[in-house]
Structure 1
Amino acid sequence: MSPDTARRMILRWGSFLLVLVVGFLVWTTWVGRTQLPPLTPDVSVVVEARDGTLLRGFTVADGRWRLPITVDEVSRGYLEQLIAFEDKRFYRHSGVDLFAAVRAVGQAVWNGGVVSGGSTLTMQVARLLENSGTGSWRGKIRQMRVAWALERVRTKDEILELYLRLAPFGGNIEGVRAASLSYFQKEPARLTDAEAALLVALPQSPETRRPDRAADRARLARNRVLDRSVKARVLDQEAADAARMETVPNTRHAFDFLAPHLTERVAAATPTQLRHRLTLDHAMQAKAEALLARHVKGRHKAMSGAVMVVDHQTGAVLVSVGSPDYLDTGRQGFVDMTRAIRSPGSTLKPLIYGLAFDAGLAHPETFITDSPIRFGPYAPQNFDNSFRGQVRVREALQMSLNIPAVSMLDAIEPSVLMARMKRAGAVPQLPNDRPAGLAIGLGGIGLRLTDLMGIYASLAQGGQAVPLVFHAQEELSIAVRPPVVSRVSAWYVSDILSGVAPPKGAVADTVAYKTGTSYGHRDAWAIGYDGGHTVGVWLGRADGAAMPGELGAELAAPLLFDVFAAIKPKPDPLMRPPDEALTVTNDALPVRLKVFRRPGALGAQNLPEITFPPDGARLVLADDGIVAKVTQGVPPFTWLANGEPVVVGSYDRQAEVDIPGPGFLSISVIDAMGQSQAVRIIVE
């Protein structure tokens, strides 16, 4: 080669390299100066259950469903088919696949029209971000420029994630998660090969291939993706043939709309947060909502209700149903009745007795008097306006007798009950901020269902306070916290409540539960627990109007047991009795626990008083004697006639006394404290 020839070759190659370098610098500068569209497009706010399944989503401003999704939350099969069909060199090119672009141009020139596209996934993302068309060359050049620039500031997975969020799937559905839930009612992590292939095909022509409108076109497009996947060795022929046999969905399903009250409140609390993960169990929530809606169907058109389920080992709220139908204005369904302040009726009695057990005032087998009594101006009455006389504490709680419960509350003092409710996480409300009185024990106080769930969860958890947790990231195992009641007292209460007769058809001795009905039949309650879960039910009217004749035991208790049956096939065993629990009959109790004695009421204020016959009365001699009656005093009682014992060790407050004959008769009664009273009558 001559020197002149060599110089010409060097000059030629030098010029070529200079052009390349200058061209590269110009291209780099051109790409670097690209004004990128916003890379964080509006995405729907979603509230998810504990396992990540959707409870409720909120559309973006233009009414589109565009749910947040990450690469890790999509099935690997979908991603492989997507890349094989749309952009097989996605992980190797820098935003534009020049080989595919040249091939697309050549095919277009040779065939006189577009045969295949040269757009990469990155270019498609560029188009989706700018909402630009695909028909003009100017648009294509803009997409290429944005794609190159995008690859400089985002990783491949971040670009892929933008596609997964923005790809159109027909109507107002955008993004693979919204499409998967809408067409298949499942999360995209669980897509089959056929489902994945359909979702790969739809964004190419989302309106003409919508399976709910053009199932045949959708099937053909899906099968082309399957064929391409076989060629790319993403699927084998056998898997592709099996996928072709699957039917194409012809329905677009509505998105889940579960726990609307709670999800709305959570989304509103932190509006800038896109994803909220709650402790709710998706399946349990759906079942509980259906049960409540079914339970009120056919009843008063204004009846509302609420249901909650709590894992009392962690405090996690698994179910929160605020009304039978959020959209039912007749029931005021928009009001969240889990948070409404209502009268708790008799539902605080278990806590009252638990505190009395802790104070050493009583034992489940202790006798307590159910008879007329006054506490200053306050004279409580039983629900049925009758009296049972001497009963065991166990029976008093199981029968929900008012007078024994108020006597217990008087002994422990209302302020103690208020303090323990607050320790359990409750926020009790008193009318006009008045001091707590004895009436709070029978429902004269305002509480929410959430408050009562905390109280009963503490009883279920051996007396420990159980703060309710709604957010999954806050769910922790219960640590040492101040007890609401002792473990022994909690077991006593649980043992008593497990003996309450269940509704007809329900299995006995599996759930410890208590019902309650507020004054005027405005609130019907049923709250109970087994070894793992605490369930609470409220039924009533959101406007506070009365529901004549409706009782907690008849209205709310059946729903409570239905919820237990729905959330688990078999209840978890209740807690075992602690070693220090005193499991004996009344006969074996210490003397101080045999009979309940109100502190400070053992002196002259509690002397036995014979109310019949009155002193100085004249009675006609009868063959069957007379029935003498006594109030006050501490049973058991001994009755004497003219100094001779006629009835010994009676816990009843009345006794049959034989009359020896006409004349003067002295009748005396002696109580367990040795206090006595006598009357003198004339028998004719």
Structure 2
Amino acid sequence: MLNWAKDRFQWILVLLGLGLGLFLFWNCLPQPLFNTPYSTVLEDQNGKLMGAKIASDEQWRFPLSKDVPTKFEKALLEYEDQYFYQHPGVDPTAVLRAVIQNIEAGKVVSGASTLTMQVIRLSRKDQPRTYWEKIKEAILALRLELSYSKKEILARYAAHAPFGGNVVGLEAASWRYFGRPPSQLSWAETTTLAVLPNSPSLIHPGRNRNRLRNKRDQLLKRLKNSGTIDSLTYKLAKSEPLPGKPLPLPRIAPRLLTRMVTGKFRQHRVKSTIDLSLQKQARNVVERHHKLLKQNQIHNTAALIADVKTGAVRAYIGNTKDASSPHENNVDVVTAPRSTGSILKPFLYMLMQDKGQLLPNMLVADIPTEIAGYSPENFSRSYNGAVPASEALSRSLNVPAVRLLQDFGVPRFHHYLQQMGMKTLDYPPEHYGLSLILGGAEGSLWDITGMYTSVARFMNHYNAANPQTNIFRPKPLHFTKGAENSSEYSFPLNAGAVWYTLETMLDVHRPEKDVNWRQFQSSRKIGWKTGTSFGYRDGWAIGVTPEYVIGVWVGNADGEGRPGLIGIKTAGPILFDLFDSLDKTSWFHEPLYAMQKVPVCSKSGHRAGPYCNTVDTVAVPKPGLKTEPCPYHQQVHLDKTENYRVNSNCMSIEKMKDESWFVLPPAQEWYYKQKNPNYRVLPPMLKQCQKNTDATTVMELIYPHDASQIYIPKELDGSKGKTIFKVAHRGNNSTVYWHLDNQYLGKTKDSHQMALSPLPGRHLLTLIDEEGATLRHQFKILSR
């Protein structure tokens, strides 16, 4: 009985020992197996290398690749471990052979390490080469074989084996020594890399070249003898030279690689959405233009090509590639906030149509304007009086844009820009004010190109039968596969408003070489918009088609302005050359069900009123039905000669002749008639009919129009400056008498303007024409 209890206790100890041994064996493998830093690797959409960033330990070590090329596998196994697929991690035959060889030699001449054991040794860096360490490696190798397949073990060896210098892993070695991926190496190149991990120091140019060649050629001979390669391949492979000094890795999208390294993709292999061929073409286009632009001291350019369907970026040029330049060429301008110039105007035009505040060709005022101390000017420094909204957009007129934004509301526009994806609006609306539409805010090329891409995608998806397609859902751009994200925002949008905006963008004046594009049937339709910031610091161009959106920015990254740095001359030519590198593109379908045909006054672009004498039936966005009828056509009463206006105060109704007349407000009329010689000025009122004439119908202040506070700066010599007061009068030969605070100043004829220098304080300006019409305006002169 005592012996039985003793035996049972011994068996328990044995089982416990076995259990503990199995537990220790199962948990002996480190997790992760390799705890080393990796390079960040950027690939195009097809897995082609575009660039890499060296690992943090200054080693070129690419992240693990699942596949090992067949050539390399055969060469490596022939050289290192012929029975790799037969043994369980340790090769007993090799161990026995190594023991015998070491005993006979009296020293260690063979280690009998399998590839699995070498993977373990690579993962356990800098361990001494002792018998005890060999035993540990053997145990860990057996354990490794239980967790990984043979292919996985082979891949880990290929990714972590040393290849000389600071080159680690097959993929990095292939690019550094041969400038190609491992799958494209010849047999000579493959066998060179297969023998290197065993003696990585042999790769150094000028040293050990014959030893490296001998090792390579011996392996080639073994491959010939085993039937892996034929005799001709063997002879040709032996004649190939050894690699020279390490080659630089590709740098095809360096700013995108930097963006990945500083973002969440560090130490990753990233398959991007970039089209390598298109990226190279885009880079060549940008560099060709850069050679011309830098002659004017314009040093930086950025460009994006985005796929409308997915929002994927197909080409990413973060800056010009002159890394040795002192002009901040390493800055990624794609993500840098820059003054937007006029590039946001189409969004305002689109939104106002969507909200029923604007029709596509409705006349908008283009006259000298001052609003709360802000005085916008057109680029040409001239005014049109009144201009169709579509023309104001295609010509990028500043004054109409500011007046439209005042009508729409800065907070409202600010809100929609944020919802559409403009992430750089860090301040509240009042910080930007009306300058928001002219570059008073900063935007990035990334965000703005994404906003236009979302607009194009909305048009592509519109389907009158599906109400969900009436909802605008912005989608940010992305440059990695599988990273498509929708914005958290969405709002209803009329497709007709979008379509008219894109159609208007077709009319933007193209660069010189494309100026006659409409005359050629082969020309592609591209809706585009330019922008130029204040001080000629930023030139923008955005182009839109149903397939692609291209965004271009040109300027100096340090903010230096240059004469001639305007969007149409600098960014525009690049934009159209980039489109030339793309496949043929189409144009958007007219969303007829989002629009409705209505009578529209041909002269004013408003819905036709009762006195419009020329009417067109036009399809307009359905919200446009809320706009007011034409305010410019009115019925006027003339005498029989039709030379004078009359009214019932001086003439009986039966003697009057009624006529519909297109009449602009005086200030608009003053500029409009200068550029429209066919404009018919209202005839003067017959003298006996002039009682109680409203002065605002014949006179209007151009400056100060709405200003109640005026600041008069000092001249350069320190003397007190003057302000030019200007008034428009309908009469071609009219005389206006000027009074300031009941003091007569003088008179003007035809062109009515006077330079005044009132003292600080409140004043009353009184204007009286020769017929007695009186216009009064109160204002305040600020001391500063």
TM-score tier (shorter):
0.7 to 0.9
Summarize deviations over 1:190-215 as a string: whole Å, max 9, x none: 44444333321222222224579776
After TM superposition, the structure 1 = structure 2 runs for residues 576-615 of structure 1, keeping only pairs within 5 Å, are 576-580=589-593, 587=602, 590-591=607-608
**Equivalent position of 2:480 in the other structure:** 472
**Equivalent position of 1:205 in the other structure:** 199
Shift of 1:597: 13
For residues 387 and 380 of structure 2, the distance between their equivalents in structure 1, rounded to whole angstroms, comes to 16
Which of 209, 223, 226 is equivalent to 1:229?
A: 223
Instruction: Confirm or deny: 8 A CA contact 1:326 1:333 kept in the other structure.
Output: yes
**Equivalent position of 2:568 in the other structure:** 553
* Aligned: 1:437 with 2:421: no
Shift of 1:269: 4.0
The residue matched to 1:472 in structure 2 has which SS?
Answer: coil
For residues 349 and 204 of structure 2, the distance between their equivalents in structure 1, rounded to whole angstroms, comes to 64
Deviates more, 1:116-125 or 1:235-244: 235-244
For residues 251 and 561 of structure 1, the distance between their equivalents in structure 2, rounded to whole angstroms, comes to 41
Which of 108, 118, 129 is equivalent to 2:123?
A: 129
Give the direction of change, closer, same or farther, for the CA distance of 1:666–1:331 in structure 2 (3 Å limit).
farther
Give the direction of change, closer, same or farther, for the CA distance of 1:219–1:466 in structure 2 (3 Å limit).
farther
Shift of 1:382: 0.8
**Equivalent position of 1:565 in the other structure:** 580
Deviates more, 1:277-286 or 1:176-185: 277-286
For residues 323 and 153 of structure 2, the distance between their equivalents in structure 1, rounded to whole angstroms, comes to 39
* Aligned: 1:494 with 2:502: yes
**Equivalent position of 2:751 in the other structure:** none
Give the direction of change, closer, same or farther, for the CA distance of 1:327–1:209 in structure 2 (3 Å limit).
closer
After TM superposition, the structure 1 = structure 2 runs for residues 269-418 of structure 1, keeping only pairs within 5 Å, are 269-270=263-264, 274-289=268-283, 291-297=285-291, 298-299=294-295, 303-325=299-321, 327=323, 330-375=326-371, 377-418=373-414
Instruction: Confirm or deny: 8 A CA contact 1:313 1:478 kept in the other structure.
Output: no
Shift of 1:279: 3.3
Give the direction of change, closer, same or farther, for the CA distance of 1:374–1:29 in structure 2 (3 Å limit).
closer
For residues 546 and 313 of structure 1, the distance between their equivalents in structure 2, rounded to whole angstroms, comes to 36
Give the direction of change, closer, same or farther, for the CA distance of 1:468–1:326 in structure 2 (3 Å limit).
farther
**Equivalent position of 1:632 in the other structure:** 665
Summarize deviations over 1:326-360 as a string: whole Å, max 9, x none: 85572234433222222211111111211233234
Give the direction of change, closer, same or farther, for the CA distance of 1:395–1:244 in structure 2 (3 Å limit).
farther
Shift of 1:483: 5.2
| Aligned AA (2:173) | A
Give the direction of change, closer, same or farther, for the CA distance of 1:86–1:211 in structure 2 (3 Å limit).
farther
Give the direction of change, closer, same or farther, for the CA distance of 1:315–1:422 in structure 2 (3 Å limit).
same
- Relative to the length of structure 2, the TM-score reads 0.66
Instruction: Confirm or deny: 8 A CA contact 2:367 2:668 kept in the other structure.
Output: no
Deviates more, 1:336-345 or 1:266-275: 266-275
For residues 212 and 258 of structure 1, the distance between their equivalents in structure 2, rounded to whole angstroms, comes to 31
Shift of 1:121: 0.9
Instruction: Confirm or deny: 8 A CA contact 2:61 2:168 kept in the other structure.
Output: yes
Give the direction of change, closer, same or farther, for the CA distance of 1:416–1:482 in structure 2 (3 Å limit).
same
Instruction: Confirm or deny: 8 A CA contact 1:31 1:149 kept in the other structure.
Output: no
Shift of 1:532: 1.7
- Relative to the length of structure 1, the TM-score reads 0.75
Which of 422, 444, 449 is equivalent to 1:448?
A: 444
Summarize deviations over 1:141-178 as a string: whole Å, max 9, x none: 56545534544554433432321121111211010111
Which sections of structure 1, spanning at least 5 residues, go unmatched?
A: 1-20, 609-614, 616-628, 640-646, 668-673
**Equivalent position of 1:177 in the other structure:** 171
The residue matched to 2:202 in structure 1 has which SS?
Answer: coil
For residues 430 and 602 of structure 1, the distance between their equivalents in structure 2, rounded to whole angstroms, comes to 40
The residue matched to 2:543 in structure 1 has which SS?
Answer: strand
- Percent of aligned pairs with the same residue? 30
Instruction: Confirm or deny: 8 A CA contact 1:630 1:653 kept in the other structure.
Output: no
The residue matched to 2:117 in structure 1 has which SS?
Answer: helix
The residue matched to 1:202 in structure 2 has which SS?
Answer: helix
For residues 22 and 627 of structure 2, the distance between their equivalents in structure 1, rounded to whole angstroms, comes to 91
For residues 65 and 689 of structure 2, the distance between their equivalents in structure 1, rounded to whole angstroms, comes to 92
| Aligned AA (1:591) | A
Deviates more, 1:339-348 or 1:304-313: 304-313
**Equivalent position of 1:622 in the other structure:** none
Shift of 1:466: 3.6
For residues 316 and 362 of structure 1, the distance between their equivalents in structure 2, rounded to whole angstroms, comes to 33
Give the direction of change, closer, same or farther, for the CA distance of 1:459–1:133 in structure 2 (3 Å limit).
closer
**Equivalent position of 1:626 in the other structure:** none
| Aligned AA (2:339) | S
Deviates more, 1:574-583 or 1:178-187: 574-583
Give the direction of change, closer, same or farther, for the CA distance of 1:82–1:414 in structure 2 (3 Å limit).
same
| Aligned AA (1:267) | V
* Aligned: 1:62 with 2:77: no
The residue matched to 1:208 in structure 2 has which SS?
Answer: helix
Instruction: Confirm or deny: 8 A CA contact 2:422 2:447 kept in the other structure.
Output: yes
Which of 159, 162, 168 is equivalent to 2:162?
A: 168
Give the direction of change, closer, same or farther, for the CA distance of 1:125–1:500 in structure 2 (3 Å limit).
same
| Aligned AA (1:511) | I
**Equivalent position of 1:533 in the other structure:** 548
**Equivalent position of 2:33 in the other structure:** 39
**Equivalent position of 1:611 in the other structure:** none
Shift of 1:237: 4.6
After TM superposition, the structure 1 = structure 2 runs for residues 11-22 of structure 1, keeping only pairs within 5 Å, are none
Give the paired residue count.
619
Instruction: Confirm or deny: 8 A CA contact 2:385 2:668 kept in the other structure.
Output: no
The residue matched to 2:382 in structure 1 has which SS?
Answer: coil
| Aligned AA (2:592) | D
The residue matched to 1:253 in structure 2 has which SS?
Answer: coil
| Aligned AA (2:568) | A
| Aligned AA (1:321) | I
Deviates more, 1:491-500 or 1:459-468: 459-468
Shift of 1:433: 5.9
For residues 88 and 75 of structure 1, the distance between their equivalents in structure 2, rounded to whole angstroms, comes to 17
Give the direction of change, closer, same or farther, for the CA distance of 1:110–1:416 in structure 2 (3 Å limit).
same
